[in-house]
A and B are shown apart, each in its own frame.
Chain A
Amino acid sequence: MARDRSDNIFVFPRWTWVLRPGFAAAVAGGLLYAGLIVWLGFSPKTTDVGYAPEQPVPYSHALHVGQLGIDCRYCHNTVEQAAHAAVPPTQTCMNCHATVRKESEKLIPVRASYASGLPVGWIRVHDLPDYVYFDHSAHVRRGIGCVSCHGRIDSMDVVYQFAPLSMGWCLDCHRNPERHLRPVEFVFQLDWVPEEDQLVLGRRLREAGGINPPVDCNTCHR
C-alpha cells in the first residue's frame, strides 16, 4: 500500500533488552576506572616516591651515617645557613679518604676530581620544580627534622626519594607543623622519637617558638 515504503521488516533481537542495565553498568564502571587510573597513576606518590638513581660514586649513607655515625652537617654543612644543603666538595671526602681506603676502586672518581679540580657529577634525587623555592635553613632552624622529608637516610645504601614532595604534601605540614616539630637539638638525629605524644610536644614547641608556617603562594613561589 502507498504508505508502506518497504516490504522487509527489521526487528531487533529479543536479547537487546539486556543492554539497558549492561550499558548503565559499563558507563558507571568505565568512569570510575578512568578516574582511578588518573588519580593514582599521575599522583606524585606513584611517579616520584622511590626514585633512586645510580650515583657516579656508590656512596652509602647507611655506612657513613648509620654505622660510622657521621653527623649530617659534616658534609651538608650549609644546611643551617642557606637554602641549599650543599652537596659537599670533593675535599670533604678526601679529608678522610686521603688516608682511609686510599686504593678503593669505588673512589676513583673522587680522587680524579680532587686531582683535576673537576666536579663529581652527582645525580639529583630530591628535585623540586624550578619555580619552587625551598629553604633548608628555615626548616631545620625551626625544628623540622631531616627525617620528616628525607626518611631514614641513615639506613639507605642508595638514597631514594622518601616523600612525594608534592604541593599538597608541603601544605599538609605547613598547616599542621606540630605533627613534625621536634626540639632543634634533635633535628639531625634521624632515629629520635619523642617520649611524649608527638602532637602534645609539637603544639608546645609551636607555641614556644611562635612557629606559624605561612601558606601564602609566595612562601614558595616567587
Chain B
Amino acid sequence: MSATTVDTRALLDNTTDDPRRRAPLVLNHTEFGFVTDTVCGVVERTTPRSWYIAFAAALLMTGVMFAMITYLITTGIGVWGIQVPVGWGFAIVNFVFWVGIGHAGTLISAILFLLRQKWRTSINRFAEGMTIFAVVCAGIFPGIHVGRMWVAYWLFPVPNQMQMWPNFRSPLLWDVFAVGTYATVSLLFWYMGMIPDLATLRDRATTRLRWFVYGVLSLGWRSSNRHWHRFEMAYLLLAALATPLVLSVHSVVSFDFAVSIIPGWHTTIFPPYFVAGAIFSGFAMVVTLVIPTRHFFRLQEIITLRHLENMSKIMLATGMMVGLAYSTEFFIAWYSGNAYESFTFLNRAFGPYAWAYWIMVTCNVVVPQIFWSKRMRTNLVVMWIASILINVGMWFERFVIVVSSLSRDYLPTSWGYYRPTIIDVLTFAGSFGLFFTLFLLFVRFLPIIGMAEVKGVMPAALHGEPGHGDYHGDVVERVGRRGGAR
C-alpha cells in the first residue's frame, strides 16, 4: 500500500467543526498499518539527497559555533561585546531564548496530555525532541559565558580540599538545578514514550544492524499489556511531574533577573510573564519546524491542518498574554512612583535601545493578531512566516530585558551602550546549526510521531465507545479486580 504518495482527491482539511461527529485526527485511513507504514517509512526509506545537503549545512554552522567557542576559551570573554555596566550580553540572551523554546515540547506532551487533548498525539514526539535539542543549545551558553570556564564545576556541590560549597542563595545556582532537572526529565519523558515505537522499528528491521540498535533501545519491549499497564501509569506520573516542572523552570530562569535590584529586572511579574513567553516561542518554533517537515515527509494526513490551526490559536493566546505583560510593566512603572523604574521603561521605549523594543512589540504583539482570522490560521505560508517573526520577537524580548535594563541603571556616570561583536553573532548563529543538526538526525533515525499513541486515538481502537479511548480514562476508573498478576 502507498504510504509515500498522498491521495490528492482525499479530504485534507479537517478544520470544519461538525457537531455530529468528532473531527478525525487521522485522515482518509482507518487501518493501524497505515500509521505504522507512514511513520516508519520516514526512517526506512533511503535517505533523500536534500537531507544530506541540509545536514551538511547544519553541521557547518555547528562547526562555526565550536570554532567561536574555542577562540573564546583561548582568548577570554573579552572577545564578546560585554562590558561594565552591561555584563551580560548575547550569551545570556541566547540561553533564555533557547530555554524558552524548550518549553513547548514538555508542555504539549504533559499539559495537553493531562487536559486530554487527543490532537497532541501527532506532534508531541516531535515537540519533545525539539525540547531536548533546544535545551542542549541553551545548556552550552551558561557554561561558556563565565570568565573561567575551567572552574565552572564549582557551581556544583562537589566536595573539595577547599571545603568550599556553592552559594545556594544565588539564583544562578537555582538555574543549575532547574535546567539540569528539566533536561533530565524531558529526556526521560521523550525516551520512555518512544520505547514502544522503537520496538515497532525493531520488528520491522530488515538489517542486522537496525535490528540490534532498535532492539537494544527498545529494551526488549513485547507489547505485553501487563507492561502497558505500568507504562501508562509511569507516563501519567511523568506528565503530572513535568507540568509543574515546566512552569518552575522558566520561573527560576526569570528569578535571575527578578531577584536582582536592577530597575527593569526587579519585577514580581516576571515568572508568569516568562512562562507565557516561553510557551509562545516554543509553539512558534514547533510550527516553524512542523510545516516543512510534514510537507517534506508527506505527513499531512497525520499532522493535519487542524493540528496547525490549534497551535495558531495557542500562539494567539500566549501572544496576548505577553502583550498584557508588556503593558502591565509600564503601568506598574508609572503606578509605583519609583523614579528609577519609570525612567527605565521610558528609556526602553524611547532611549538608545528603542529600536529593539519596537521590533519586540511588533513581532510578539502585533503579528499574532492575524490569527483571529481563520483564513490566516489555515494558510500554511502565513503561519510559517508569522511563527518565524515570533521567534525573532521573542529573542528581542530577552535582549531588551537583559541589555536595555543594564545599560542604564542607577548612577548616570556608569551608563553605557552595548554592541555585540561578530563573535557574539556567529556563536548565536552556530547554536542554530547545532539545533538543526540534532533535529535532522532525529527525523532520520527515530520515529518522529508517536505511532502507538496515534493508533490509540483512531476510531478502530475505540471499539464503539465514543468519548473514551485515551490512556488515563481507564487509569482513573479502574478498580481493583480479583486475581491477576501484580
Contact = CB atoms under 8 A, between A and B. Distances in A.
Nearest to A3: B33
A208 interface: no
Interface residues of A, number: 15
Interface stretch (A103-111, A136-144, A166-174): A166-174
A145 interface: no
Interface string B145-167: 00000000000000111111000
B169 interface: no
B interface, how many residues as a size bin?
Answer: 10 to 19
A6 B204 CA distance: 7
A39 interface: yes
Tell me what chain B mostly uses at the interface: helix, strand, loop, or mixed. loop
Interface string A141-178: 00000000000000000000000101111010000000
Among B160, B164, B212, the most chain A Cβ lie within 10 Å of the Cβ of: B160
B484 to A, nearest CB: 24
Contacts of B208: 10
Contacts of A171: 163
A12 B205 CA distance: 14
Contacts of B66: none
Contacts, number: 30
A168 B215 contact: no
A5 interface: yes
B161 A12 contact: no
Interface in B121-167: 159-164
B208 to A, nearest CB: 6
B424 to A, nearest CB: 31
B74 interface: no
A5 B206 contact: yes
A39 B159 contact: yes
A161 to B, nearest CB: 14
B211 interface: yes
Nearest to A217: B164
Contacts of B161: 43-44, 164, 166-169
Interface in A1-49: 2-3, 5-6, 10, 12, 39, 43-44
B222 to A, nearest CB: 12
Interface string B171-214: 00000000000000000000000000000000011101001100
A6 B205 contact: yes
B220 interface: yes
Among B163, B205, B208, B212, the most chain A Cβ lie within 10 Å of the Cβ of: B163
Contacts of A2: 1
B162 A12 contact: no
Interface in B16-44: 33
B157 to A, nearest CB: 14
Contacts of B211: 10
Contacts of A168: 160-163
A167 B162 contact: yes
B215 A5 contact: no
Contacts of B205: 6, 10
A171 B33 CA distance: 69
A28 B298 CA distance: 45
Nearest to A4: B204
Nearest to B44: A5
Nearest to B164: A167
Contacts of A6: 204-206
Contacts of B212: 10
Contacts of B215: 10, 12
A5 B163 contact: no
Given A5-B206, A39-B159, A167-B161, A12 B220 contact: yes
A10 B161 CA distance: 53
Given A3-B33, A6-B206, A167 B163 contact: yes
Nearest to B33: A3
B418 to A, nearest CB: 31
Contacts of A169: 161
A218 to B, nearest CB: 15
Nearest to B37: A3
Contacts of B33: 3
29 contacts: A2-B1, A3-B33, A5-B204, A5-B206, A6-B204, A6-B205, A6-B206, A10-B205, A10-B208, A10-B211, A10-B212, A10-B215, A12-B215, A12-B220, A39-B159, A43-B161, A44-B161, A164-B161, A166-B161, A166-B162, A167-B161, A167-B162, A167-B163, A167-B164, A168-B160, A168-B161, A168-B162, A168-B163, A171-B163
Interface of B: 1, 33, 159-164, 204-206, 208, 211-212, 215, 220
